[in-house]
Amino acid sequence: MTIGANTEKILTELENHGFEAYMVGGCVRDGIMGRECNDIDITTNALPEQMLAVFSGYKVIPTGIKHGTVTVLCGGESFEVTTYRIDGEYTDHRRPDEVRFTADIADDLARRDFTVNAVAMDRRGNIVDPFGGRADMESGIIRCVGVPQERFSEDALRILRAVRFSAQLDFKIDETTSEAVHGMRTDLRNISSERIRDELDKLICGKNAVEVLLGYSDVITAVIPEFKASIGLDQRSPYHRYDVWEHTVRALATAPAENMKLRRALLYHDIGKPACMKLDETGRGHFKQHDRVGAEMTSEIMKRLHYDNKTIAYTTALIANHSKKLRNKTDVKKMMCKIGDELFFELMEMKKCDNSAKNEFVLKENVFFDKLADIGREIAANDECRSIRGLAVNGSELAALGLKGAEIGEIQREMLELVMEEELPNDRAELLKFAEQRCRK
């Protein structure tokens, strides 16, 4: 594991003042596993007031000095440096009521969540691993440090973190830990929406997301109960080979792992199906309006999880349109007009992901979606009119004809529709002529 110059400097400063200093937690885990690491956490036997003295020449922020943590700025990077500690009771199931500082690194590692995160390394590469974290990394195991029920009682978010790490690292959850995850999942209701949201976003982008979302669906429904109705729901459709939940999970996993926005939209894209399911006289399932209903449900869920309005609008626009039929260039223009260019191209990818989790014959339609995307790119490249702003006539020119207020908006929408349908050229003279004729009616 290569140590950055700024990290080396912080560790060296502590050692030069006679203290122990280690990198700890996720950065060590990722370094050992050859993964990229962005956040470096450091632990030391220096007490908070001693750390302030050591780093007197640096900008230091006493972020959590009561719990032994200061943030040190060095070379444009920030480092959380924390005194070895033993945590007291967690009556709020998130933070310890009190902490006791200790001189033993093993005591500090004992309070951490999982063995793979309870590993420390000094600047020379010497490892401290009292709980077998490296062995669990090699075996691909997520295991709680000590008794799982105790770790989860301290901070219930660790229940979801276990599942998230399993998805991200492609690790199995140890049997004893897994039993506690399932058994204590309802404790997640005590966790803030923001913390749940952040873990879910990381989970759905994991390379092992399919196995985890299917195997721990009860954990997901503990925080988003609206998914319960999707689990095991037979779609009774020739297009589908999976129940609604499994279809959702497998569709999500076909999107690029780095495209969180698309994976998030796919997670919720069929959440409206159970509420909309109707069986015809042959017993076949139909789901009319599930896209609209799903978008409404998703909006409420995302508000509850405290997503920002822009993210909610992006996600729900994709869901509301994911089953809309597009047949030709006019339909492409109208969809680009409705949701914008960026979302249109994302919608084409979403449709392909959706199809990828259906019966095999449906995949043939993905070639058509690629053609529609090509048409969209041609429209964009040629800057063909697909918005009122793109019309060759503006509102002021229409006002000069004697049109007012709502009349202007109405005729602009009418002209845009005709231009996109190629029944009226986007030409100033032709548009003004059309407007004059409308004024005479």
pLDDT at 92: 62
Q: Is the pLDDT of residue 88 over 80?
A: no
259: its two tokens: 């495209």
Average pLDDT over residues 248-260: 98
pLDDT at 439: 79
Centre a 10 Å sphere on the Cβ of residue 126 and count the other Cβ atoms it contains: 9
pLDDT at 94: 63
Average pLDDT, the chain: 95
**Which of 62-76, 203-217, 219-233, 309-323 bottoms out in mean pLDDT, i.e. has the lowest?**
62-76
Q: Which residues pair with 86 in a beta bridge?
A: 100
pLDDT at 441: 62
Distance in angstroms (rounded) separating the CA atoms of residues 353 and 366: 9
394: its two tokens: 């503006």
**Which of 38-42, 243-247, 380-384 bottoms out in mean pLDDT, i.e. has the lowest?**
38-42
CB-side exposure of 295: number of CA atoms within 13 Å?
Answer: 15
pLDDT at 99: 82
pLDDT, tens only, 127-150? 999 999 999 999 999 999 999 999
41: its two tokens: 């956490």
Q: What is the pTM of this model?
A: 0.91
Q: Is 383 left (phi over 0), alpha (psi -120 to 50) or beta?
A: left
Question: Residue 394: phi, psi to the nearest 5?
Answer: -105, 175
Average pLDDT over residues 65-88: 91
- In this prediction, what percent of the chain has a pLDDT beyond 90? 90
First to last CA, the chain: 78
Average pLDDT over residues 393-402: 92
Are the C-beta atoms of residues 67 and 61 closer than 8 Å to each other? no
Cβ neighbours for 177, distance < 8 A, ≥ 6 positions apart: 114, 142, 143, 144, 148, 162
Q: Is the pLDDT of residue 356 over 70?
A: yes
Q: Which residues pair with 64 in a beta bridge?
A: 69
Q: Is the pLDDT of residue 173 over 80?
A: yes
**DSSP letter for each residue of 98-166:** -EEE-S-HHHHHHTSSBGGGS-EE-TT--EE-TT-HHHHHHHTEE-BSS-HHHHHHH-THHHHHHHHHH
Q: Is the pLDDT of residue 50 over 80?
A: yes
Q: Is the pLDDT of residue 368 over 90?
A: yes
pLDDT confidence band for 36 (50 / 70 / 90): confident
Q: Is the pLDDT of residue 1 over 80?
A: no
pLDDT, tens only, 3-24? 889 999 999 999 999 999 999 9
Q: Is the pLDDT of residue 397 over 70?
A: yes
Cβ neighbours for 37, distance < 8 A, ≥ 6 positions apart: 26, 27, 30, 31
281: its two tokens: 């006289």
pLDDT, tens only, 404-431? 889 999 999 999 999 999 999 999 999 9
Distance in angstroms (rounded) separating the CA atoms of residues 165 and 155: 16
